[in-house]
Amino acid sequence: MGKKAEEPYLKLSGSLSGKDYELIHMLEEECKINDQITLKLELDYKRSDAENGTLKTAISDINEFLYFHGEELVGYMGICSFGGSSQPLEITGMVHPQYRRQGIFSKLSELVITECRRRKAGGILALCDRNSISGQKFLEKAEAIYNYSEFEMYLHDDAYRAMEKQPPGGITFRKALNTDASEIARQDTIYFGKSPEKENEEDEYSHIVLPEEEEKHGMTICIAEMEDRIIGKVNLQISDSGIGGIYGLGVLPENRGKGFGRSILVNAIEKLKELNASEIMLQVAAENATALSLYKSCGFRETSVMDYFEVE
């Protein structure tokens, strides 16, 4: 039986405090267990941003929307900004299972979308686990337009140990420095789509990722080289809970078809194991059949599907 939020109040902020992080994480676990879903809230990334002062949004921007019943957090929605001002803002949220059907999610969505419009975002992407019945129904009612899907995959150690690990030798990893920022941006454009249109000189650099800044909140960008020649890259991260993540893996077009993708992946796995990652996961676009096949052949298995919807 549901509970009525009789003493509700909203808390809005630009970044996550330590207390808010803990409350949101507790609510996340409640929803994940109850609904058997995955939530992509980027809490560790956001908290690191707040602690290291690397948040690049304006001081007036609101990214965290918390809905309380007394001292209990019963609803949350957050905004994530990746890239420059012309890139879409990503939004996702949740409501405590016992406080649903009271309009809490609708109220949070209204506030979040108003904030995205105020910031003149280059679009709004709403994230929802495919198995979230309530989330999918809400987005259908809101007439959100399906954009694409992303698989979350976790490494199965038995399958990984049993695979043939004889990729091309000679590949080395080095940490990317800020001087590599343009090269990282170039590769990301090749692997993941066109760079945003630039309206002025300031926009030209708004989407550039600075590797040394990223490392401050746990994301290490590694450049893969062979004989001093760059062949690709990969991003590595370990969350506060000890889960190792592999992101942004790519091989430059002139180096494809030679087994380098497998070699970079195996090297990434081994580095995370050296850092005592309790589990290793990655995310891949559902339509990327080549990458999906590679990850499966190295022992990764699908655990959830995250759907991305465009919100008008």
Same domain for 125 and 165, yes or no, is: no
Domains: count for the chain: 2
Strand ordering across the sheet containing 171-175: 8-13, 64-69, 72-81, 89-95, 124-129, 300-310, 145-155, 279-285, 243-251, 229-238, 219-226, 171-175
pLDDT at 26 over 60: yes
What pLDDT is attached to residue 51? 74
Q: What is the CATH number of the domain that holds 178?
A: 3.40.630.30
pLDDT surpasses 50 at 201: no
Same-domain check for residues 21 and 132: yes
| Domain end point (choices 84, 109, 143) | 143
pLDDT for the residue numbered 13: 94
Looking at every residue in the chain, the average pLDDT score rounds to 87
**CA–CA separation, 108 and 151 (whole Å):** 26
- Does residue 312 belong to any structural domain of this protein? no
pLDDT tens for residues 72-100? 999 999 999 876 666 789 999 999 999 99
Residue 237 belongs to domain spanning: 154-305
> Is the pLDDT score of 236 beyond 80?
yes
Determine the longest span between alpha carbons in the chain, in angstroms: 66
**96-100: long-range pairs with CB below 8 Å, 24+:** 96/27, 96/30, 96/31, 96/72, 97/30, 97/31, 97/34, 97/35, 98/1, 98/2, 98/3, 98/74, 99/2, 99/3, 99/4, 99/5, 99/69, 99/74, 99/75, 100/2, 100/134
Q: What phi, psi does 260 have (nearest 5°)?
A: -70, -30
Whether 127 and 254 share a structural domain: no
Dihedral pair phi/psi, residue 216, rounded to 5°: -65, -30
CA–CA distance, 276 with 131 (Å, rounded to integer) = 31
**3-class SS letters over 254-267:** HHCCCCHHHHHHHH
pLDDT of residue 166: 58
Q: Dump pLDDT digits (tens) for 261-283.
A: 999 999 999 999 999 999 999 99
Whether residue 104 sits in one domain with residue 163: no
241 in the same domain as 130: no
Q: Which residues pair with 310 in a beta bridge?
A: 125, 145
pLDDT, position 55: 55
Q: Measuring CA to CA, which residue among 273, 279, 214, 277 is closest to residue 248? A: 214
Question: What are the angstrom distances between the C-alpha of 56 and each of 32, 260, 269, 276?
Answer: 30, 34, 30, 31
d(CA 254, CA 235): 21
Task: Tell whether 188 and 218 lie within a shared domain.
Answer: yes
Strands, E, within the chain: which ranges? 8-13, 64-69, 72-81, 89-95, 124-129, 145-155, 171-175, 219-226, 229-238, 243-251, 279-285, 300-310
Answer yes or no: is pLDDT of 202 > 70.
no
Give 35's pLDDT tier (boundaries 50, 70, 90): very high
Last residue of a domain, one of 143, 173, 190: 143
Does one domain contain both 164 and 219? yes
